Structure 1
């Protein structure tokens, strides 16, 4: 089971790869169990300053394994999948969903639990719950409208339409689109840039954004002032290394 999600460490950043390429990385309880184990390790790993979540082989993931659903999943507890994605969302490190190929329904719910999505130009997204007479329980109804707006979320949920990477970028689902030939290089460059910044700032900014999400502007501004975490332990070193420093 450990090989269902692979971890590959780089200089300050890590790739987690969903690893059922022969099944288009379809999501099962065992895949989630492996993902959850990796999340738990990363939550306390201060050497990792950025996480990339992607799929092995041809795509990110084709979504929830319908065969697993049909045979009756042995879920550890009610809401366990959703809880696992909340753990992913609450990782202290920035988390990038690097999406190529299919990203449907359950897979989209996984990607939405990341901080943002970068898409290869062959990526395709969709919510097909309605196609199968299902309703979301992994977070689609909450995260999709927060990402793209309520009306657009309703359109995608009601039609079960598939959209391409260009449309995903247009509606704000994906941050930007990269040619597939350049995808690996761009993801590595992006993760490296994020990892080069202060882990203290990343953690503090994620806490700040999470705490003030949905607040009225004045309340959010007040929170930013009163709950400000100041500067991190690497502040002096970073300032001292600034080439333009005077005095």
Structure 2
């Protein structure tokens, strides 16, 4: 039997692939357990700087496996199907490495929530997003009702969540749901190029910056600014002038190449 989650590490990039293409990468109990372990693995591995999350086949992720949710495989109640296997979202949120979501196809309901747990999203032109919680008859438990309105506005979020309609990759980009849209064959190369840009930053600062943004995002502005000042004062204690000078030269050289 094939592994339901594939983990590949190369050049400080960990690629986590949901590998149930025959089921549109639906989140079975087995897959959720494997996904939690994959993110715990990369969180522990100091050789990994950035994570890419994607799906095999034509779907990114179709959400919770409805066969399990309906009890057809003996997995028990709906609550067990949604909550069992460990907390996937917690494992992702606790991962200190930036997570790039490479949305290769359908991202539906729980799969949509999985995408929203990534730090940023690159979408294939074949990607489609939908929130079908209301059609299935369950409420979200992985953050969709709170994250989506903050990302694209409450009116657009209600349109998606209260209809269950699909939105295209292009529309998702126009709404600010994804960072950019690329051709299907360019998806992973684009994500790896973005990961390489991140890897060229100072690793401890990269992790601290991600943590600072995440912690401050849900705070009132004044509290967020206070948090930033405190983080700045703590972080600057570890900064060495010689290191800053070397990085400044590297930034200038990079600017000349990009200019």
* Distance in structure 2 (CA, Å) of the matches to 1:50 and 1:138: 22
Structure 1 residue corresponding to 2:219, chosen from 215, 219, 222: 215
> Which has the larger helix fraction?
2
1:165 aligns with 2:169: yes
Q: How many residues align?
A: 245
Q: 2:113: which partner in 1? A: 109
Q: 1:35: which partner in 2? A: 35
* Distance in structure 1 (CA, Å) of the matches to 2:243 and 2:67: 54
1:130 aligns with 2:130: no
The answer to which of 132-141 and 169-178 deviates more is 132-141
* Highest RCO, 1 vs 2 (Cα 8 Å, sep ≥ 6): 1
RMSD over equivalenced CA pairs, Å:
2.5
Give yes or no for contact 1:95–1:116 (8 Å, CA) kept in 2: yes
Shift of 1:207: 1.8
* Distance in structure 1 (CA, Å) of the matches to 2:48 and 2:62: 28
* Distance in structure 2 (CA, Å) of the matches to 1:67 and 1:215: 39
Question: Where in structure 2 are the equivalents of 1:33-72 lying within 5 Å?
Answer: 33-71=33-71
Label 1:77 to 1:236 Cα distance change in 2 as closer, same or farther (>3 A).
Answer: farther
Shift of 1:15: 0.3
Shift of 1:117: 1.1
Q: Which runs of 4 or more aligned residues in structure 1 lie more than 6 Å from their structure 2 counterparts after TM superposition?
A: 75-78
Label 1:80 to 1:67 Cα distance change in 2 as closer, same or farther (>3 A).
Answer: closer
Label 1:124 to 1:222 Cα distance change in 2 as closer, same or farther (>3 A).
Answer: same
Give yes or no for contact 1:16–1:51 (8 Å, CA) kept in 2: yes
1:25 aligns with 2:25: yes
Partner deviation per Cα, 1:163-188 (whole Å, 9 max, x = no partner) = 10011111111111111132222122
Shift of 1:135: 1.5
Shift of 1:237: 4.4
Give yes or no for contact 1:63–1:103 (8 Å, CA) kept in 2: yes
